[in-house]
């Protein structure tokens, strides 16, 4: 089973950095939103991973030693189809909100320091 992808780590990092940038800026609701958003992103990524692992186990490909390397990419695509759409939409929404909060946090910090 593949580890957490680069994109999943990137979106989680964006959500965490946005919360860090909004801390102490005088916007407690946005800071709270950023914290809740980071938690929702982490949760949805984990649940999507659980769905994928369940799929791998169901088809008998949970042992990476028995899966040939040429088949790994195909299995990842099939596992992605097994994840519910609402969960993928939630994860995508948290990534977009995290990016918006990151940009806002950068702008606020530039205005405060400038």
Tell me the pLDDT tens digit for each residue of 19-76: 999 998 889 999 999 999 999 999 999 999 888 888 878 877 666 666 666 566 666 6
For the segment 84-105, what is each residue's pLDDT rounded down to a tens digit?
999 999 999 999 999 999 999 9
Buried b (16+ CB within 10 A) or exposed e, 4-13: eeeebeebbe
Q: Which two tokens stand for residue 98?
A: 């995290």
The DSSP output letter for 23 is: T
Which pLDDT value is given to residue 20?
96
- pTM comes to 0.83
User: Residue 82 — pLDDT band, cuts 50, 70, 90?
Assistant: confident
């Amino acid at each position: 089973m593949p580890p957490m992808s680069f994109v999943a780590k990137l979106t989680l990092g964006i959500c965490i950095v946005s919360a860090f940038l909004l801390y102490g800026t005088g916007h407690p609701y946005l800071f709270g939103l950023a914290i809740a958003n980071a938690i929702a992103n982490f949760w949805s990524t984990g649940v999507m991973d659980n769905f994928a692992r369940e799929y791998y186990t169901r088809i008998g490909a949970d042992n990476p030693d028995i899966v040939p390397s040429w088949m790994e990419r195909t299995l990842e695509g099939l596992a992605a189809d097994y994840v519910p759409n609402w969960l993928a939409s939630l994860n995508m929404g948290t990534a977009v909100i995290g990016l918006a909060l990151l940009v806002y946090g950068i702008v606020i910090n530039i205005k405060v320091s400038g």
